[in-house]
Homo-oligomer: A and B are copies of this chain.
Amino acid sequence: MKTVVVYSGGLDSTVLLYHLRHLGHELRALSVDYGQRHRRELAGAEAVCGLLGIEHRIADLRSLRPLLAGSALTDDLPVPDGHYTEQSMRVTVVPNRNMILLAVAIGWAISRECGAVALAAHAGDHAVYPDCRPAFAEAMAQAAALCDWRPIAVLRPFIKMTKADLVRRGAGLGVPFEMTWSCYRGGDLHCGRCGTCVERREAFARAGVPDPTAYAPDAPPMPAVPG
């Protein structure tokens, strides 16, 4: 199957790339530049695609920034410390980001005669983002089946897996985790303190896989993993 992977350069979508490649998909990878603070992930995405010989394109949506104001990911609000699921992470919501991402990815899939787009959505994606809800994804899959004469499938193979499951799967596929970027702050190293960093560290710990990430020297020690 010819498939466009919505590819942020983060851990989850890098595992998705390796997973679908393993299953024999003919892949293209699409990243979106929406002026995000954590632009490091785009360079990582480019490097991983180069390693795998996969066509990689960056959709430049920075021109939409004035329309989609109000998110700490793109504006000058501070990114909060602490766990991802906290109320404070709401400021990181980019309005309608996932619908915009999917719409552009599906447009590229149609123009390149691909039959599917794939998302790395997983069971740990948080309800702080309304467009991470399963019912939203189902409505979009319905729309994707109708937006062109040939239906486009929306694949979410990780939807029942946790992030720790993804780390385990990625380790089995030889994913170069050190090339992936999660931190929502735009530093040279992962801060180890923001929501995505905490989540990343916990996922490695839960998976029992050594975490090769270089965290900032002032990152707090790895907290005890609950459960």
Among candidates B60, B107, B140, residue contacting A95 with C-beta atoms closer than 8 Å: B107
> In the complex, which of the residues B59, B66, B142 contacts A67, with contact meaning CB atoms closer than 8 Å?
B59
Is A209 an interface residue, CB under 8 A from the partner? Answer: no
B111 touches A131 (CB 8 A): no
In the complex, chain B residues whose CB is within 8 Å of the CB of A57: 66-67
User: Do B110 and A99 touch (CB < 8 A)?
Assistant: no
Q: Is A61 an interface residue (CB 8 A)?
A: yes
Report A15 CB to chain B, min CB distance, Å.
24
Stretch at the interface among A145-153, A174-182, A184-192, A195-203: A145-153
Copies in the complex: 2
Q: Which residues of B contact A98 (CB under 8 A)?
A: 147
Among candidates B30, B60, B96, residue contacting A103 with C-beta atoms closer than 8 Å: B96
Query: Contacts A63-B61, A64-B59, A147-B131: A70 and B111 contacting too (C-beta < 8 A)?
Result: yes
Which residue of chain B is the closest to A67 with respect to CB atoms?
Answer: B108
**A68 and B111: CB pair below 8 A?**
yes
Interface residues of A in 125-183 (CB under 8 A from B): 130-131, 133, 135-136, 139-140, 142-143, 145-149
Q: In the complex, given contacts A98-B147, A99-B99, A99-B143, what are 13 additional A-B residue pairs having Cβ atoms less than 8 angstroms apart?
A: A59-B64, A61-B61, A62-B63, A67-B107, A67-B111, A68-B107, A94-B107, A95-B148, A100-B107, A130-B148, A131-B148, A136-B146, A143-B143
- 9 smallest beta-carbon distances between A and B, as pairs: A96-B107, A95-B110, A139-B143, A60-B63, A139-B142, A136-B146, A99-B103, A103-B103, A100-B103
